[in-house]
Amino acid sequence: MQGSTRRKIAKASGCSFEYVGMLGIMTGDRDERARCWDYIRWLLKQQKGTLGTDISFKDRNDVTVFPCKSGFGGISRIYGTGGATLRLIEQNTGTFCFNIPDPVDEPEKELVLIFSHYKGARGRARDAMRDVLNGHRVSANGGNGGQQRCYDFSVGRCRRGNSCKWAHIVPPGPPGPSRGGDRGRGGDRGRGGPSRGGGPRRDDRKPYSRPNDTWGAMADRLG
């Protein structure tokens, strides 16, 4: 498994998981190692396409179930292009997630299983999935406790006002005119510009020559 996937499994299970050569080593108490091993088995089955609906998750205390619709507007939106959105949710919340068809055979319904040893992490992942279905985007820093930018507000579509849980950040305006440009001194005379040694200078001036009779103020008298 790649490093990011290994770290995801370790963080969700609460078990230290490292590779020494071709040997995977799990370090933790019995419950932590059992969770880690279950997550690895399900991940390998998912990659092989053999992950079915026979996963006994109802009696587990490390899972939160999030039902959603099948297809576009449902599970496809949660996964995002190439699974990028779901990977960001897992990364931000420290969870391990995958979907299965509803075992009750309810048409056009999927169950997203959110696994983590920490209940708060599962709740944040569930809230992030709900927000994605409502049209919000997931940012890479969404899991660090900072408030995410409201995408609807940035495109002028948010109507929630002060009740919106996302940050209404006004984008910066266009840059103003450069100093010196309006005063006829050239736009490149700011701090660090060419006039202050901001770049290499080429000195084409010749050394001062000795004044002659036709040079300077003496030219009029001698003329």
Could you tell me how far CA 66 lies from the centroid of its own chain?
Answer: 23
Q: Where in the chain is the domain with CATH 3.30.1370.10?
A: 60-157
Amino acid identity, position 18: E
| CATH of the domain spanning 60-157 | 3.30.1370.10
Per-position pLDDT tens, the chain of length 223: 568 899 999 999 999 999 898 899 999 999 999 999 999 999 999 888 888 777 888 899 999 999 999 988 899 999 999 999 999 999 999 999 999 988 776 667 899 999 999 999 999 999 999 999 998 888 776 543 345 667 677 777 787 776 676 667 665 544 444 444 444 444 444 444 444 444 455 545 555 455 555 555 555 555 4
Distance CA 193, CA 179 (A): 11
Nearest to 125 by CA among 172, 182, 62: 62
Tokens 């999935």, located at residue: 129
Residue 45 token pair: 């089955």
pLDDT tens column, 161-188: 766 766 676 655 444 444 444 444 444 4
Q: Is 118 exposed, middle or buried (CB count within 10 Å of its CB: 0-12, 13-18, 19+)?
A: middle
The set of residues, in sequence order, having a beta carbon less than 8 Å from that of 195 and lying 6+ positions away, is 186, 188, 189
Amino acid identity, position 81: T
Percent of the chain at pLDDT exceeding 70: 65
The set of residues, in sequence order, having a beta carbon less than 8 Å from that of 63 and lying 6+ positions away, is 57, 113, 114, 115, 122
Prediction pTM value: 0.63
Question: Of all residues in the chain, what percent are helix, strand and coil, respectively (each to 5)?
Answer: 40, 15, 50
Cβ atoms 53, 100 nearer than 8 A = yes
